[in-house]
Structure 1
């Protein structure tokens, strides 16, 4: 598999009133073309900081990020970003929010409307094209955000806890929707979640990060068949992978809490 996104020796430090805080140190990770990779780890381990650097919204203090061999030096339309907050423009309709991104990318008005409509259909929201964000549920808003991010055909989709604010049932529906979209269009995805079940269900590989300063502790291949269906969550193979990832995170959380000696 050809490497699409390569993170090498990445570090990020912040100056604070209490001195220097090292968020990331020596992060190495390669994501292949059309691969779905998820980052998991304890709270505060630097997952979101890492994603922000890949998105070009933050600058590393050490190391490099390259996309197709080119250094990432700032934001770009080669990367689509979806956050937990929906970041929709409240004065625009669902269709208008997607059109706005396309117009900013240089598409003509007619082309933007056609492409925006097609992507709302992709996420099942054609009937809500004229609805404003205030008239949409949380899951619908996030579907608009995903449609917007996909509409200008980024090389990489970056997703930071995109389903974290949703109720359990809506979250499951969104996971199934994202899986269907990915299996149909095969784009490169770097995803962040605290939900281990979500990570295993969605991913080709799950990268577990250490406590701060964050680095990649281990990468767990998810060799479950595709297309994925939610009934496989109860299968022994799924549960074995879930336990393997959870054990790695639990080991880090025990160290973070200072309980490693007590539980030895």
Structure 2
């Protein structure tokens, strides 16, 4: 059974000159169990809105969003969410930020302490458990955010430009860390990004969006695990160029 299924999804907002401004128009998308799918497209095409709806953070006009065949009713511990902003509570340490999320998910005190430490070690921050967010670099903060999202064992990880605010070197390190975690623990990932190279490097499939609609779904048939050197191959470059060409096409030609 597919882990995440989006059927005939329509989302609109009120508009002054028109009755409604449709931002997602009859979206159909299925993410299989343990599949890594990136969503790419020009700014304003609706990709972040799509992820927010899948997270249960936004409502929609019609259609359905299902996890393992059951319609979602809002946010849930079956879905972990990571945004570009780190959203850490500054008055809590790295470990306490994760413990806070675990307690909210129903774990008891001792379970929360143990799981928080386990997941900090998973993202290679075991020695930074007692540091405050202000003492952490951007990449470290995002690793805490990923550890927090994974700590309550979601079936699906939803990530919206999670590395967009990081420098190039840190971003590359975070991409490799994410792949290590995904290959080890195997969960379904929906990953929104503006970075085409990042999408090709990480994904099993790339969903290319034009405003309000899916333009094309592209399989990424590259070896796994993926060494960084794969980004220098002709096959990688061809996939990257294809995605770029689709996104940059004029709308009337798309």
Same fold (TM over 0.5): yes
- The residue aligned with 2:10 is 11
- The residue aligned with 2:100 is 100
Structure 1: gaps spanning 5 or more residues: none
Q: Distance in 2 between matches of 1:147 and 1:136?
A: 14
SS at match of 2:147: helix
- Listed as ranges, the matches of 1:67-78 within 5 Å are 67-78=67-78
Q: Distance in 2 between matches of 1:241 and 1:198?
A: 12
Work out whether residues 28 and 215 of structure 1, in 8 Å CA contact, stay in contact via their aligned partners in 2: no
The CA deviation string for residues 69-101 of structure 1, in whole angstroms up to 9 with x for no partner, is: 000121111110000000000000000001111
The Cα shift of 1:16 comes to 2.6
SS at match of 1:120: helix
Q: Distance in 2 between matches of 1:170 and 1:48?
A: 23
Instruction: Indicate yes or no: 2:236 matched with 1:238.
Output: yes
SS at match of 1:3: coil
- The residue aligned with 1:110 is 110
The Cα shift of 1:241 comes to 1.0
Instruction: Indicate yes or no: 2:148 matched with 1:148.
Output: yes
Q: Distance in 1 between matches of 2:98 and 2:216?
A: 37
The CA deviation string for residues 3-48 of structure 1, in whole angstroms up to 9 with x for no partner, is: 1111111110100333321101011110000000010001100001
The CA deviation string for residues 109-133 of structure 1, in whole angstroms up to 9 with x for no partner, is: 1111111001000001011110000
Q: Distance in 1 between matches of 2:248 and 2:62?
A: 28
Q: Distance in 2 between matches of 1:17 and 1:82?
A: 33
Candidates 222, 225, 248, aligned match of 1:224: 222
Instruction: Indicate yes or no: 2:248 matched with 1:250.
Output: yes
User: What TM-score, normalized to structure 1?
Assistant: 0.93
How many residues are matched? 252
Q: After the TM superposition, list the runs of 4 or more consecutive aligned residues in structure 1 that deviate by more than 6 angstroms.
A: none
Work out whether residues 208 and 249 of structure 1, in 8 Å CA contact, stay in contact via their aligned partners in 2: yes
The Cα shift of 1:217 comes to 1.0
The CA deviation string for residues 225-244 of structure 1, in whole angstroms up to 9 with x for no partner, is: 11111111001111111111
Q: Distance in 2 between matches of 1:181 and 1:86?
A: 19
- The residue aligned with 1:82 is 82
The Cα shift of 1:156 comes to 0.5
- Listed as ranges, the matches of 1:1-264 within 5 Å are 2-19=1-18, 20-211=20-211, 214-251=212-249, 254-255=250-251
Greater mean alpha carbon deviation, residues 130-139 or residues 12-21: 12-21
SS at match of 1:249: helix
The CA deviation string for residues 181-204 of structure 1, in whole angstroms up to 9 with x for no partner, is: 001111000010000000000000
SS at match of 2:3: strand
Q: Distance in 1 between matches of 2:195 and 2:100?
A: 32
Q: Distance in 1 between matches of 2:17 and 2:52?
A: 24
Work out whether residues 37 and 206 of structure 1, in 8 Å CA contact, stay in contact via their aligned partners in 2: yes
- Give me the CA root mean square deviation: 1.0
